Amino acid sequence: MKITWLGHSAFRIEIAQSTILIDPFLNGNPGARGVDPKEAARGATHIILTHGHGDHVGDTAAIAKDTGAVVIGNADLVTWLNNRGVARVDPTNTGGTVSHNGFTVTYVNALHSSAQITEDGVSHSLGSANGVVLHFDNEPTLYHMGDTDIFSDMALVNELHQPEIGIVPIGDRFTMGGAVAALATQRYFKFARAIPCHYGSFPIIDQTADKFVAGMEGSKTQVFVAGTNDQFTV
């Protein structure tokens, strides 16, 4: 499995059978330094959305049109996208699991909001915010927390899924900050590797992963502080 951080909360995950984008906010993403949106989306077969905010839905509609990728997400969100021209969607909701080519996606809780204000000034509620757990046929289980604060039922996510790779939001203000994210990671999970995200993009959130790295000192979990466009194989 190859994982590439595309800035903010956007990731590209490549397995033998599928190329998956999570929260593909590429154009206009101040954290996507050096990322070519066309190249980042090349060959995408699936797009997984954690929630409906613009900095997570991002380029979903355009990528889906160009690649034919299936968009997976909360039923309210993907129905909204379908009504706006996204042809292939697979709706789910908190607690649900859907199966695709070489992997499954389970939607779990996240403490956050999910809406968009359209050009006419109307706010559209787009279902719940979620984290996503990806189980692969022949790869480590991955948990992208989405945008969230710490919550005690993270222990149940670990009990049910035992994820080995954690993608953890750390930027503060709109998600938990680095110190709290480190507490969540160490208290509730046994990740082999933790990848911080949702920082270093917009100026009003934390610009570095330093607080998370400091909070993880002494942990058995390997913290991988990716640079934008960094790719690594697990």
Give 163-201 pLDDT, tens digit per residue. Answer: 999 999 999 999 999 999 999 999 999 999 999 999 999
Asked whether the predicted pLDDT for residue 229 surpasses 90, the reply is no
Alpha carbon of 219 to those of 59, 164, 181, 183, 216: distances in Å?
36, 14, 13, 11, 5
Tell me the per-residue pLDDT of 27-59, one tens digit each, with 9 for 90 and over.
Answer: 999 999 899 999 999 999 999 999 999 999 999
Q: Tell me the pTM.
A: 0.97
The helix or strand, by DSSP H or E, that contains position 99, with its residue range, turns out to be strand 97-100
Question: How far, in Å, CA of 116 to CA of 52, rounded?
Answer: 7
**What are the structural domains of the chain?**
2-228 (3.60.15.10)
User: Per residue in 96-125, pLDDT tens?
Assistant: 999 999 999 999 999 999 999 988 888 999
CA dist 69 and 180 (Å) reads 35
